[in-house]
Structure 1
Amino acid sequence: MDNKRDHVRTTLKVQLRIDHPVHGRMLVTTRDISDSGVFVVIDDAQNLLQIGEVVSGQVQGLPIEAPVVQMEVVRFEPSGVALAFMRD
């Protein structure tokens, strides 16, 4: 299979707080990140999230408060979910 990604993925393992309008706050771990989005490890993600939903996220554990970003659920895999960064 050809990899036709527009943005290079970088392995990154950090804690990410996701705020969901129905399920509330979830603390998850990222697997990788690119300029367009992030993949997060979530057990049973398809029962918690739907394609097209918008959630907010904030990296946790930094020495300063990270910005809160809006992300859209775009893809599921057995190990988690891909979230695309929403641009203003």
Structure 2
Amino acid sequence: MSNHRKNVRTPLKVRLRIEHPLHGELILTTRDISDCGVYVLMDQAQDKLSIGERVSGQVQGLPMEAPILQLEVVRVEAMGVGLRFVRD
């Protein structure tokens, strides 16, 4: 399978707090990040998130409070989900 990604992924392991309208707060771990989004590890993601849903996310554990970003689910896999940064 070829990889036609426009943005390079950088491995990054941080805690990410996700706010979901139905499931509430989820604390997840990222796998990688790019200019356009982030991949988060999530057991049974297909039971929790659907493509097209929007969530808010905030990196946890930094020395200062990180901004809260809007994210859209663009990929759901058994290991986790791909989230695109929403830039309105």
TM-score (normalised: structure 1): 0.97
- TM-superposed CA distance for 1:2, in Å, is 1.7
Query: Aligned partner of 1:46: which letter?
Result: Q
Query: Aligned partner of 1:81: which letter?
Result: V
Listed as ranges, the gaps of 5+ residues in structure 2 are none
How many correspondences in the alignment?
88
Secondary structure, aligned partner of 1:55: strand
- In 1: Cα distance, 2:76 partner to 2:52 partner: 11
Listed as ranges, the gaps of 5+ residues in structure 1 are none
Which residue of the partner structure matches residue 39 of structure 2? Answer: 39
Which residue of the partner structure matches residue 4 of structure 2? Answer: 4
1:51 and 2:51 are equivalent in the alignment: yes
- In 1: Cα distance, 2:22 partner to 2:77 partner: 22
- In 2: Cα distance, 1:29 partner to 1:68 partner: 16
Percent identical residues: 65
Q: Please identify runs of 4+ aligned residues in structure 1 that moved more than 4 A.
A: none
- In 2: Cα distance, 1:32 partner to 1:55 partner: 18
Which residue of the partner structure matches residue 22 of structure 2? Answer: 22
Query: Aligned partner of 2:53: which letter?
Result: E
Which residue of the partner structure matches residue 75 of structure 1? Answer: 75
